[in-house]
């Protein structure tokens, strides 16, 4: 207190003797000329300073004579300004800090100057994601991240993305590790893009090695918005838009359908169908073309489906405390599925803050703490978009056009109508829209997620930081559904009013302690980090009940309490724990640089996982990387005018994958077999209750990590006054000892355990080029990213060298379409090659009847790939590759005064798609798309598609390249045009009032005949079996209108 | 600084010691072999796990030994639709896919693994000696049954007797049958001498084991030209031993022939019978099915049981909870008039009876009551039946009526008559559709077989004459092999027994060849039956009636397994051609 008194006294004396005046001026942005509020203005060499107001004006009260001012603001280059004698109307412009290499990047357990980073990472700013107006941040990342292949799982609202970094490296879980605000394992799709400060993608092993055992597929680090020192900033971003289906698949109308069906029967030598007796009521209308039949896709299309998003962000703080708060609401309706329209509604709440508790006399932040809390809630409704058995869109594509949607009373055309109207032609699916509606209309799931992280930092001496952080992740939710009684065919029916409820709740805990230290010895700088973490995840339970005997008949009352009693075989109960995973880790990192010219980093991590047996639990993951900033060398700095910056990087590292079900080291006992309950009905008992049991796997106590080993060489360069920047990387990623459930001899008699049994190598290059220039008020920039990857399997630990995908994928009774095989890309399409269609008997004779004994004109010519004179399984070969060779993305943006314009595009090339909308082998009456017009129906009519026959015929039933198409595409993802009305109305209190219009998924350049070439299909339980279109819910085209307002 | 390093290292070393404990987890949802089986309930579960393999085998449908035995024999053709190439391939002894038996191979080895596992872990449990013997006896029988299925279908297979995985070559017939006989001997000795009516139906009994032993003995000695089976311990099973066991079975089991042959088959069930217009005789004489409402039949020694839990969702086990053989052999065509074919139900039209069976039978035994009881003579019995339904091929005028979907009519509360796809719906409360509602037992060993095997082994007429008596035939005065062979052919027509009979009697080539040139219908058009791959006799000579083991297994075994003879490329059946 005494000290302060003395100080005040001194100041008083000092002031009274001063003759200097107050300094007044304004701080603006050098490019936009917008005021910069909150800028710091300090008289050089003193502590005297002030902060600019909302309109950029400042008044610096001082008694001393100021010569130079230092003006600074976050994100801008600080300036020192000589003011001379001037004290009024000092106009100061600050230039935005475009020297991106001075930026820091998140590297895992810390940050690093981008200039010193020796790995291959991508840093994407939140604002770049936000302006693309996607529901999930990953949707926006699609066009921003070379080497990261992002594919939507489905265009249905609320569906996620398939993310592969640098090629598929495993047959198991190939998703990267997500770390949101330091917490491992959250769901990035539950974040609103407006909540994100930055996303960092760690691509090479050296960068991701710090995450060790789970980083084999790369790491995606998400940092949510943090508070900023300065005045409170409030911003609102919102848009409203409409979405539409932009491309449909044309199906046959009623008359065409009859023609094709007749042709099939003719080809099969079967009597033609007597249509007038099969569809007595409608037949004349169809023949006279008074009725075209039902177009099921059109009927289920939801026109102008709305989408909206509103996000509010508040940030502020002072030197000791900073905070950031975000609120958002997003709602999206699906474009397909009417009247059971899919809906996704999401609310997110975020509160981040950090506080300096104690700053010592040397201005070191001795004690600091902070927290980040993200809460999200989303409600989901959807239709079936799964495999061929549960796919409402597919059902609509292949439903018979001869069936009406409604009966004469306006109810769904169902089995009763079939019987009463004499409709003797039951298409296998029945009424697909009725089924979709009954099954899905009354089904909602509600999901809650909470990510919370709390940390303390102690800095006892300068640059020695001890940090402790505690992460908590909670996932909970409930779902409820009601299915009424219905009957659509003799088989498709629901006999009971079913009510189902389920609920789940669980959490994950994570505790981390790190010590980091920075030490400078002349030109040598060392940084070090050691740390330790423990994680316990999947601590949770699920409980579910399905019951019948419902006493109401609506969704509102559909709770288990409103159902009566227990009905054997119909009341289903389940309750289970999630299966705890535990992980314990130790890690360290040493960084070194000499004059920021030569640099190196060494990382080591040790992980112990509960998934493995004692003695096989610990894995060690080292990495080393080095960089050389050539542009700092004397011999090159002379040419600085052209080359501003050039850094060479090289790295090597190892990391792992432990994503495997637990307890593979025990012979576990199962009471079900492939999900079917086991029992045996002794005596009179037709409803037996005693469950049978058996050991379901052969134990493998030796199971351990899958290891990925990666070399990366690259450079970063900037030319022409940093207007042009280039980044290039070459990598080779070898994944060894996959966790494989390899086929074993069936005579072993039970399930195969996981073994470490496969290797794959991914090699590729990534190249990105960026241009930015400002010409007076006109700013523009463009970028292009290219990534090329080649995937090859090197080893499978069984004699056949093959892992098969599921069979019955395209149609019941068909062989697997995807395989993993040594020497081929993972999950390549496997089938017969065709060499056209036999046009006539002469051609058959020429090929030789030994090959295809019973061939007839119109049959497919299968290729004898192994030249053994017979066509059989061993002629099956690679007929396609679901992985693109090349992924590209482009962007262009420009701004002039208040106007801004941007366009982004992304595409993939070199991949194939396997397509089948019909269950051709066993359901001959399913409808076709108009593709079938290109079939063979007489000499010279087609040399690709064989004649139409019942699907059991080898022409169609055997998987061949007739189902394969090239999937190359380029999508114009986003076009936005905006104007900031602040330019017009300079005096409004707002600092920004931008209004924009935006179009998404504007156009797709592709030759692919399906609705959407961006196929996010993944075979159930087999992440590697991709690229199959069974009726894929496409991405909508959207037009939206939005505003960004801040003050 | 030193202080921190010290602190850190102390913290680290504390952590490391507790690491391993932290990483220990307990499986909260599954037991494992260290704590299962522990008690009687666990043992029951483990045993049910083995029995359910019988269901799963039925779920393999066309690819099961039972189905193959039905269509490969001269009893029946393949039938079904023109795309049912497996039906035809098995009839022609051809191959319709190199891995066509993979599923059945897998299922049977699953049963063997589960049996081995129970035998290995049995001693960890606390149960009485009697219970232990009961469970082990049933387990040994089932393991023998599974191996006999494999040995019938493939000849020789790897003999796996432990749970530890070993890549084994195929065992010789001597070793394989030695083990089968040894397991059956164990079962006979361990299972109690309790009358069949005092045991729960479905469970293996001593009597079933004795009959199974006779079946195995007859096939092994006949097919492989042996006189006895040598057990792994060097002991031998002789004809005298087998006769002694059959005598025991006949004297002590309580099993007997039913009075009327028709009572064996579910078309005489009480619900259907009321509306079965073609059979007044049965109605008047109250010939009710012996298994009506779940009763035990004295004639059944061993059968596969079915339940209401069957679902058709691609799961072999769940599908096999219903009698898929009924579905496969049911009358083809959803468009058939249900009234016209009543009480027989819809199926895939597999295994149409070879007309030669009917011709031979009516010629040699015109008064045999079993003819009408066993065979539907379509033009006479079901004149409204439509031929050529759903591209039906290899169709004949005859179907068996034993293993069939049987419909039923019930007068409902509103006075209307409702027809059900199976009598099981009103009788057992079944809720399945026409593919899963057939839940009548699949009989594998009947008492008539015991009697006829006894006659064959003893070369006496006692057994054969009891069977003839029931069929309204005059007794034989002297035993002859020809008479025995005929009697077995008539008694078991359509039951899958004939296949191994003609193979062990070495008459397969001759009898199979008679299937060529028979009157059949393809797509409803009258035609003559044809053959593939050079003819039935040639294919039999090349294969001895053994089918190919899955190529996938040969590859996986790194060629330690060898393919059976006669299954090169020339054996490929491409599919039905007109």
Residue of A nearest to B166 (CA): A748
B18-77 residues touching A, CB cutoff 8 A = 19-20, 22-25, 27-34, 36, 42, 44-52, 54-56
Residues B281 and B399 in one domain: yes
Distances (CA, A) of A188 to A182, A208, A454, A478, A886: 13, 18, 19, 20, 25
Strand partners, A586: A532, A606
Q: What is the structure's pLDDT at A661?
A: 75
Q: Note whether residue B533 is domain-resident.
A: no
Domain that holds residue B157: 11-63+101-252
CB–CB contact B556 A745 (8 Å)? yes
Is the omega angle on the peptide bond into residue B37 within 30 degrees of 0, that is, cis?
yes
Question: Looking at the domain assignment, is residue B489 inside a domain?
Answer: no
Residue B197, sorted as left (phi over 0), alpha (psi -120 to 50) or beta, turns out to be alpha
Could you check whether the bond before residue B291 is cis, i.e. omega within 30 degrees of 0? no
User: Distances in Å between the alpha carbon of B91 and those of A973, B64, B270, B512?
Assistant: 59, 14, 35, 9
Residue where one domain finishes, among candidates B415, B442, B469: B442
| Same domain for B326 and B383 | yes
Distance, in Å, from the CA atom of A8 to the CA atom of A22, rounded to the nearest integer, reads 19
- DSSP letters, A292-322, are ----HHHHHB-TTEEEEEEEEEEEEE-SSEE
Find the closest chain B residue to A425 by CA distance: B335
Distance CA B477, CA A184 (A): 88
> B195 CA to chain A: closest CA distance, Å?
15
Phi and psi of A642, rounded to 5°?
A: -95, -55
Look at residues B193, B228, B252 and tell me which one is the last residue of a structural domain: B252
Would the CB atoms of B29 and A579 count as touching at under 8 Å? yes
Q: Are A462 and A364 in contact (CB under 8 A)?
A: yes
The confidence score (pLDDT) of residue A647 equals: 94
pLDDT of A15 above 90: no
Please choose, from the candidates B149, B118, B147, the residue with its C-alpha nearest in 3D space to the C-alpha of residue B134: B118
Instruction: Report if residue B390 sits inside a domain.
Output: yes
Q: Are residues B342 and B390 in the same domain?
A: yes
Q: Strand, coil or helix: what is B208? A: helix
Q: Chains A, B: CB contacts under 8 A, how many? A: 240
Please report the pLDDT score of residue A98 as a whole number. 55
Distance, in Å, from the CA atom of B388 to the CA atom of B378, rounded to the nearest integer, reads 13
Q: Of B51, B113, B293, which is closest to A750 when you measure between CB atoms?
A: B113
Q: Within this chain, do residues B292 and B408 fall inside the same structural domain, yes or no?
A: yes
CA-to-CA distance for A953 and A921, rounded, in angstroms? 8
CA distance B247 to B488: 19
pLDDT classification of A18: cutoffs 50, 70, 90: very low
The predicted model gives A735-757 an average pLDDT of 86
Phi-psi region of A913 (alpha: psi -120 to 50; beta: other; left: phi over 0): beta
Nearest Cα residue in chain B from A514: B8
CA-based max dimension of chain A: 116
Q: In what order do the strands lie in the sheet with A23-29?
A: A57-60, A23-29, A90-94
Q: Using the beta-carbon criterion (under 8 Å), do A692 and B45 form an inter-chain contact?
A: yes
Q: B111 and B59 in one domain?
A: yes
The whole-number pLDDT of residue A1 equals: 47
What integer best gives the mean pLDDT of chain A?
89
Q: Are B212 and B196 within 8 A, CB to CB?
A: no
- Judged by phi (left if over 0) then psi (alpha if -120 to 50, else beta), residue B90 lies in alpha
Inter-chain touch B20–A614, beta carbons under 8 Å: yes
Could you tell me if B138 lies within 8 Å of chain A, comparing CB atoms? no
For B:207-266, CB contacts with A below 8 A are none
- Assess contact for B544 and A290: CB atoms under 8 A: no
Query: What is the domain-level CATH number for residue B168?
Result: 1.25.40.390
CB A974 within 8 A of CB A960: no
Contact list in A for residue B389 (CB cut-off 8 A) is none
Predicted pLDDT at A637 = 63
* Spacing of C-alpha A350 from chain mean position: 21
Handedness of CA A863, A866, A869, A872 (dihedral sign): negative
* Residue B228 to residues A95, A906, B240, Cα–Cα distance (Å): 102, 77, 10
Q: Please list every residue in chain A whose beta carbon sits closer than 8 Å to the beta carbon of residue B201.
A: 682-684
**Number of domains chain B contains:** 2
What does the alpha-carbon distance between residue A799 and residue B284 come to, in Å, rounded to a whole number? 66
Place of tokens 């061939």: A855
In a domain? residue B522: no
Cβ pair A952:B552 closer than 8 A: no
In a domain, B47, yes or no: yes
**Cβ-based burial of A213 (10 A; exposed 0-12, middle 13-18, buried ≥19):** buried
Question: Nearest CA to CA, how far is B454 from chain A (Å)?
Answer: 28
Same domain (yes/no): B243, B321: no
Residues of A in contact with B336 (CB under 8 A): none
What's residue B578's pLDDT? 59
Q: What is the structure's pLDDT at A60?
A: 82
Question: By the CB < 8 Å criterion, does B114 face chain A?
Answer: yes
Clarify whether residues B355 and B415 are in a common domain.
yes
Query: How close, in Å, is residue A761 to chain B by CA atoms?
Result: 24
DSSP state of B564: P
Burial (0-12, 13-18, 19+ Cβ within 10 Å), B526:
exposed
In angstroms, the separation between the Cα of residue A583 and the nearest Cα of chain B is: 7
CA A913 remoteness from chain centre: 20
A17 pLDDT exceeds 50? no
Separation of alpha carbons A862 and B328, rounded Å? 32
Do B225 and B310 share a domain, yes or no?
Answer: no
Give the SS3 label for residue A498: strand
Lowest mean pLDDT across A668-672, A1024-1028, B114-118, B122-126: B122-126
d(CA A836, CA B559): 36
Burial zone of A427 (CB within 10 Å; 0-12 exposed, 13-18 middle, 19+ buried): buried
Interatomic CA distance for residues B414 and B417, integer angstroms: 9
Considering only residues 454 to 493 of chain B, which have any Cβ-Cβ distance to chain A shorter than 8 Å?
none
Q: Which of A1016, A758, A750 is nearest to B111 (CA)?
A: A750
Tokens of A437: 């509606």
CA distance A20 to chain B (A): 49
For residues B202 and A683, the answer to whether their CB atoms sit within 8 Å is: yes
Is the pLDDT confidence value at A9 over 70?
no
Q: A681 vs B202: CB contact, 8 Å cut-off?
A: yes
What pLDDT, on the 0 to 100 scale, is given for residue A16?
Answer: 41
Q: Are A970 and A888 in contact (CB under 8 A)?
A: yes
Q: Is any Cβ of chain A less than 8 angstroms from the Cβ of B116?
A: yes
B417 touches chain A (CB under 8 A): no
CA dist list (Å): A182 to A211, A469, A864, B516: 11, 9, 56, 77
Residue B377 shares a structural domain with residue B232: no
The partner residue sitting opposite A577, judged by closest CB among B28, B36, B117, is B28
Per-residue pLDDT of chain B (578 residues; tens, 9 = 90+): 555 555 555 555 555 556 678 888 888 888 888 889 989 999 999 999 999 999 999 999 999 999 999 999 999 999 999 889 999 999 999 999 889 999 999 999 999 999 999 999 988 888 899 999 999 999 999 999 999 999 999 999 999 999 999 999 999 999 999 999 999 999 999 999 999 999 999 999 999 999 999 999 999 999 999 999 999 999 999 999 999 999 999 999 999 999 999 999 999 999 999 888 766 677 777 789 999 999 999 999 999 999 999 998 778 999 999 999 999 999 998 889 999 999 999 999 999 999 999 999 999 999 999 999 999 999 999 999 999 998 999 999 999 999 999 999 999 888 899 999 999 999 999 988 999 999 999 999 999 999 999 999 999 999 999 999 999 999 999 999 999 999 999 999 999 999 999 999 999 999 999 999 999 999 999 999 988 889 999 999 999 999 999 998 998 898 999 999 999 888 988 778 75
Q: Could you tell me how far CA A710 lies from the centroid of its own chain?
A: 23
Which run of H or E residues covers position B39?
none
Q: What average pLDDT does range A261-281 have in this prediction?
A: 86
CA distance A132 to A140: 6
- Residues 494-523 of chain B with CB under 8 A from chain A are 523
Asked whether residue B143 falls in the same domain as residue B182, the answer is: yes
CA-nearest residue of chain B to A614? Answer: B20
* Beta strands A669-670 and A694-695, pairing class: antiparallel
Residues from chain A contacting residue B318 (CB–CB below 8 Å): 676
B387 is a domain residue = yes
Overall pTM > 0.80? no
Strands A443-458 and A365-381 come out as antiparallel
Domain boundary among B233, B252, B271: B252
Beta-bridge partners for A636: none
Cis status, amide bond into A123, omega within 30 of 0: no
Residue B139 lies in a domain: yes
* Residue A65 in this model has a pLDDT that exceeds 80: no
Long-range contacts of B531-535 (CB under 8 A, 24+ apart): B531/B92, B532/B88, B532/B92, B532/B94, B532/B573, B533/B92, B533/B93, B533/B94, B533/B570, B533/B571, B533/B573
- Nearest CA distance, A921 vs chain B (angstrom): 10
Residues 6+ apart with CB under 8 A from B467: B257, B448, B451, B452, B487, B491
The pLDDT of residue A5 is above 50: no
Confidence of residue A281 (pLDDT cuts 50, 70, 90): confident
Is there a single domain that holds both residue B23 and residue B143? yes
User: Which of A584, A678, A952 is opposite residue B83, by nearest beta carbon?
Assistant: A952
Kindly state whether residue B401 falls inside one of the protein's structural domains: yes
Looking at the DSSP bridge assignments, the partners of residue B417 are B411
Do B236 and B274 sit in the same domain of this protein? Answer: no
CB proximity list for B280: less than 8 A, separation 6 or greater: none
- Are A155 and A136 in contact, with CB atoms under 8 Å apart? no
| Residue of B3, B17, B29 best to disrupt the A interface, most CBs of A under 10 A | B29
Q: What is the pLDDT of residues A216-233, one digit of tens each?
A: 899 999 999 988 888 888
| pLDDT mean over A230-259 | 93
């Amino acid at each position: 207190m005494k000290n302060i008194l003395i100080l005040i006294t001194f100041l008083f004396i000092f002031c009274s003797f001063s003759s200097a005046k107050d300094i007044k001026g304004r701080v603006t942005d050098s490019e936009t000329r917008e005021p910069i509020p909150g800028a710091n203005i300090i008289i050089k060499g003193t502590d005297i300073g002030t902060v600019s107001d909302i309109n950029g004006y400042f008044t610096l009260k001082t008694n001393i004579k100021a010569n130079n001012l230092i003006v600074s603001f976050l994100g801008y280059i600080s300036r020192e300004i000589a003011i001379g004698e001037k004290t009024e109307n000092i106009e100061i412009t600050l230039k935005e800090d475009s020297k991106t290499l001075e930026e820091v990047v998140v590297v895992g357990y810390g940050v690093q100057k981008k200039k010193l980073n020796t790995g291959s990472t991508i840093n994407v700013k939140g604002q770049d994601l936000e302006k693309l107006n996607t529901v999930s941040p990953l949707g926006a990342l699609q066009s921003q991240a070379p080497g990261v292949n992002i594919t939507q799982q489905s265009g249905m609202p609320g569906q996620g993305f398939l993310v592969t970094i640098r090629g598929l490296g495993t047959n198991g879980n190939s998703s990267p590790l997500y770390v949101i605000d330091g917490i491992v394992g959250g769901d990035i799709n539950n974040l609103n893009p407006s909540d994100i400060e930055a996303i960092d993608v760690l691509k090479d092993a050296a960068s991701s090695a710090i995450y060790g055992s789970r980083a084999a597929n790369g790491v995606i680090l998400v940092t949510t918005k943090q508070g900023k020192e300065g005045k409170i900033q409030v911003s609102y971003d919102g848009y409203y838009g409409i979405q539409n289906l932009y491309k449909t698949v044309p199906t046959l109308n009623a008359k065409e359908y009859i023609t094709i069906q007749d042709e099939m029967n003719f080809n099969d030598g079967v009597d033609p169908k007597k249509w007038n007796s099969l569809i007595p009521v409608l037949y004349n209308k169809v023949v006279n073309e008074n009725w075209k039949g039902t177009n099921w896709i059109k009927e289920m299309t939801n026109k102008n489906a709305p989408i909206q998003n509103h996000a509010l962000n508040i940030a502020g703080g002072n030197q000791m405390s900073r905070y950031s708060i975000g609120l958002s609401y997003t709602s999206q309706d699906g474009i397909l599925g009417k009247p059971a329209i899919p809906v996704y509604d999401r609310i997110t709440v975020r509160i981040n803050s950090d506080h300096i508790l104690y700053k010592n006399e040397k201005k070191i932040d001795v004690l600091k703490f902070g927290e980040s809390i993200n809460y999200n809630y989303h409600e989901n409704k959807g239709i079936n978009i799964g495999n061929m058995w549960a796919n409402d869109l597919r059902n609509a594509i292949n439903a018979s056009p001869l069936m009406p949607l409604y009966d004469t009373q306006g109810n769904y055309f169902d089995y009763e109508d079939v019987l009463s109207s004499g409709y003797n032609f039951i298409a296998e699916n029945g009424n697909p829209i009725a089924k979709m509606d009954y099954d899905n209309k009354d089904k909602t799931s509600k999901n809650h997620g909470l990510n919370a992280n709390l940390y303390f930092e102690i800095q006892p001496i300068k640059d020695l930081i001890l940090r402790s952080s505690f992460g908590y992740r909670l996932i909970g939710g409930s779902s409820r559904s009601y299915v009424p009684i219905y009957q659509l065919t003799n088989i498709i029916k629901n006999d009971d009013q079913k009510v189902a409820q389920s609920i789940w709740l669980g959490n994950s805990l994570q505790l981390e302690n790190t010590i980091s230290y920075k030490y400078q010895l002349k030109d040598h700088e060392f940084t070090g980090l050691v740390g330790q973490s423990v994680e316990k995840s999947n601590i949770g339970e699920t409980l579910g009940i399905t019951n019948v005997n419902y006493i109401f008949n609506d969704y509102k009352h559909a709770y288990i309490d409103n159902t009566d009693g227990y009905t054997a075989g119909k009341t289903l109960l389940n309750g289970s724990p999630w299966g705890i995973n535990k992980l314990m880790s130790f890690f360290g990192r040493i960084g070194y640089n000499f004059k920021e010219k030569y640099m190196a980093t060494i990382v080591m991590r040790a992980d112990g996982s509960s998934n493995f047996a004692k003695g096989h639990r610990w894995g060690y993951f080292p990495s080393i990387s080095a960089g050389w900033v050539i542009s700092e060398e004397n011999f090159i700095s002379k040419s600085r005018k052209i080359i501003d910056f050039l850094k060479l990087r090289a790295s090597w590292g190892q990391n792992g994958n432990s994503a495997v079900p637990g307890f593979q080291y025990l012979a576990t006992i199962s009471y079900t077999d492939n999900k079917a309950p086991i029992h045996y009905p002794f005596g009179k008992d037709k409803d037996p209750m005693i469950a049978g049991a058996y050991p379901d796997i052969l134990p493998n106590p030796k199971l351990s990590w899958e290891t990925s080993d990666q070399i990366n060489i690259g450079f970063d360069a900037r030319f022409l006054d940093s207007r042009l920047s280039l980044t290039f990387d070459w990598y080779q990623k070898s994944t060894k000892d996959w966790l494989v459930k390899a086929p074993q001899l069936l005579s072993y008699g039970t399930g195969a355990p996981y073994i470490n049994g496969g290797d794959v190598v991914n090699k590729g290059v990534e190249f990105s080029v960026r241009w930015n220039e400002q010409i007076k008020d006109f700013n523009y920039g463009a970028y292009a990213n290219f990534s090329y990857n080649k995937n090859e399997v090197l080893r499978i630990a069984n004699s056949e060298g093959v892992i098969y995908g599921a069979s019955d994928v395209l149609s019941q009774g068909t062989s697997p379409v995807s395989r993993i095989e040594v020497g081929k890309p993972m999950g390549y399409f496997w089938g017969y090659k065709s060499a056209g269609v036999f046009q006539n008997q002469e051609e058959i004779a020429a090929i030789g009847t030994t090959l295809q004994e019973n061939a007839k004109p119109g049959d497919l010519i299968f290729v004898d790939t192994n030249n053994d004179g017979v066509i059989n399984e061993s002629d099956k070969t690679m007929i396609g590759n679901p992985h693109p060779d090349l992924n590209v993305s482009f962007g262009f943006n420009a701004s002039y005064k208040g106007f801004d314009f941007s366009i982004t595009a992304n595409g993939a090339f070199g991949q194939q798609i396997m397509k089948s909308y019909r269950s051709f082998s066993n359901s001959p009456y399913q409808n076709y798309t108009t593709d079938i017009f290109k079939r063979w129906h007489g000499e010279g009519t087609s040399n690709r598609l064989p004649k139409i026959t019942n699907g059991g015929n080898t022409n169609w039933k055997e998987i061949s390249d007739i189902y394969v198409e090239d999937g190359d595409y380029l999508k114009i993802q986003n076009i936005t045009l905006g104007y900031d009305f602040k330019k017009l109305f300079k005096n409004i209190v707002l600092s920004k009032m931008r209004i924009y219009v935006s179009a998404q998924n504007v156009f797709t350049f592709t030759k692919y005949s399906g609705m959407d070439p961006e196929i996010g299909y993944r075979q159930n339980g087999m992440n590697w079996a991709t690229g199959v279109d069974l009726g894929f819910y496409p991405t909508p085209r959207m037009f939206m209108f939005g505003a960004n307002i801040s003050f | 600084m030193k202080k921190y390093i010290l602190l850190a290292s102390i913290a680290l070393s504390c952590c490391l010691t507790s690491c391993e404990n932290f990483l220990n987890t307990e499986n909260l949802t599954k037991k494992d072999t260290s704590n299962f089986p522990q008690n009687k309930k666990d043992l029951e579960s483990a045993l049910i796990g083995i029995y359910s393999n019988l269901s799963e085998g039925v779920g393999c449908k066309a690819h099961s030994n039972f189905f193959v035995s039905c269509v490969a024999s001269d009893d029946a053709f393949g039938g079904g639709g023109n795309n049912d190439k497996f039906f035809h391939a098995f009839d022609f002894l051809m191959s319709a896919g190199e891995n066509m038996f993979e599923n059945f191979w897998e299922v049977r080895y699953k049963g063997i693994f589960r049996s081995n596992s129970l035998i290995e872990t049995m001693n960890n449990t606390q149960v009485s000696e009697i219970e232990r013997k009961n469970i082990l006896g049933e387990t040994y029988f089932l393991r023998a049954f599974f191996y006999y299925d494999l040995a019938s279908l493939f000849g020789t297979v790897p003999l796996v007797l432990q749970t530890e995985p070993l890549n084994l070559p195929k065992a010789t017939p001597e070793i394989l049958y030695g083990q089968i006989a040894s397991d059956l001997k164990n079962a006979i000795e361990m299972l109690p001498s309790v009358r069949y009516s005092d045991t729960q139906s479905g469970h293996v009994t001593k009597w079933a084991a004795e009959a199974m032993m006779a079946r195995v003995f007859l096939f092994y000695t006949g097919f492989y030209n042996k006189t006895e089976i040598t057990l792994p311990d060097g002991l031998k099973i002789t004809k005298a031993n087998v006769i002694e066991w059959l005598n025991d079975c006949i004297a002590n089991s309580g099993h007997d022939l039913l009075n009327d042959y028709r009572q064996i088959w579910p078309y005489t069930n009480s619900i259907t019978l009321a509306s079965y217009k073609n059979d007044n005789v049965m109605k008047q004489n109250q010939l009710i099915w012996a298994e009506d409402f779940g009763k035990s039949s004295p004639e059944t020694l061993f059968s596969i049981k079915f339940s209401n839990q069957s679902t058709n969702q691609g799961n072999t086990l769940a599908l096999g909870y219903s009698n898929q053989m009924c579905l496969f052999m049911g009358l083809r065509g959803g468009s058939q008039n249900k009234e016209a074919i009543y009480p027989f139900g819809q199926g895939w039209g597999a295994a149409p009876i070879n007309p030669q069976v009917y011709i031979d039978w009516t010629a040699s035994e015109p008064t045999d009551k079993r003819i009408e009881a066993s065979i539907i003579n379509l033009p006479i019995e079901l004149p409204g039946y439509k031929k050529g339904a759903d591209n039906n091929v290899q169709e004949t005028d005859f179907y068996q009526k034993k293993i069939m979907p049987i419909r039923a009519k019930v007068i409902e509360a509103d006075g209307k008559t409702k027809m059900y796809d199976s009598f099981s719906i009103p009788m057992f409360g079944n809720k399945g559709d026409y593919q899963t509602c057939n839940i009548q037992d699949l009989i594998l060993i009947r008492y008539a077989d015991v009697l006829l095997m006894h006659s064959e082994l003893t070369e006496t007429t006692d057994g054969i004459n009891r069977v003839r008596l029931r069929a309204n035939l005059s007794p034989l005065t002297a035993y002859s092999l020809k008479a025995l062979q005929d009697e077995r052919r008539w008694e078991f027509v359509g039951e899958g027994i004939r296949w191994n009979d003609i193979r062990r009697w070495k008459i397969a080539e001759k009898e199979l060849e008679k299937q060529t040139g028979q009157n059949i219908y393809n797509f409803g058009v009258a035609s003559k039956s044809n053959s593939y791959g050079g003819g039935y006799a040639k294919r039999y000579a090349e294969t001895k009636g053994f089918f190919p083991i899955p190529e996938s297994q040969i590859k996986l075994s790194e060629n330690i397994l060898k393919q059976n003879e006669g299954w090169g490329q020339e054996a490929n059946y491409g599919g039905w051609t007109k």
